[in-house]
Amino acid sequence: MSHQRFASRLSVLCIFGMAAVSTTRAHDTWLLPQRDRPAPGETVRVALGTGEAFPKSEVAAKPERVADWIAVGPSGRAKLSGFKIETDDLTARSSFEAAGAYVIAATLKPSFILIEAGDFEVYLEEEGATEALEQRHAAQQPSEPGREVYTKLAKTFVQVGEGGAREAVTQPIGHALEVVPLSNPLEWRVGDEVHVRVLLHGKPVEGLRVSALREGLPPHTYVSSRTTDDDGQVSIRLPRAGLWMVRTHYIHRVPGLVFDDGTESIPANWESYFASIAFRVRQPDAAKKP
């Protein structure tokens, strides 16, 4: 959903529909299927979660926040609908007739957040947003709050039945910021070193921090954090089985940016994207197990 409610010293003030916050830790957003190896025709429940300790969701995005929720695979590209809040998740259900690998992807509509100047500086440092920090310092406005328009994007993967085409899970789907696996994430096993590429508006982006985390870790604890090379790539080692997420964040200064919340136009000065992929890592001898 959003990073309007950060951890630790939480302080949220609703002012004219905007959120003013005095802390810097952002919630992550992810997609996870209830089963990532369904049979052909089986209904799959997919949950969009938001929280600080993956994979426990703390708050459900509202259905109207969804800009796009799709599945792409051997059957082509299809939109998911019928979003429903279930406890702290926003869920959708779908079924796939053709065997093969599918990527399921969601985009939330942009949101606005106001972050106090000092906290905004810490936020950029914690996110490893070197370019944004340079832009902020070049503008010579250290007392300027962060008026940020941000978008959340998330992907996950399912293998339907046995065999079938599997190319979709390693291809871009067109998100503004996107983590693209360079091998099939449904086949990732304990001990593997895998590679992903980060695309910004369809092009590899250099110097962006990519963090990997797994279930069972404390909030905001990463197994690894690496910076993309000139081809937008990083490698990730997977030492344990279970649910994993890879996440990245891009933010840049856009003077004169305006956010329209449907009721008023709000001046902003930063635009950002949060992107993630979530998947299950299995033991090497579990390749055929559901």
All domains in the chain, ordered by first residue: 12-165+247-280 (2.60.40.10)
pLDDT band with cut points at 50, 70 and 90 for residue 113: very high
Residue 286 CA to residue 289 CA, distance in Å, equals 5
Q: Is the pLDDT of residue 286 over 50?
A: no
User: Among residues of the chain, what percentage have pLDDT more than 90?
Assistant: 84
Q: What is the mean pLDDT of residues 228-255?
A: 97
Bridge partners (DSSP) listed for residue 104: 71, 156
Residue 148: what pLDDT?
Answer: 97
Q: Please write the tens of the pLDDT for every residue from 204-239.
A: 999 999 999 999 999 989 999 999 999 999 999 999
Confidence at 25, pLDDT banded by 50, 70, 90: low
Give the Cβ contact number of residue 99 at 10 Å. Answer: 18
SS3 label, residue 168: helix
pTM: 0.89
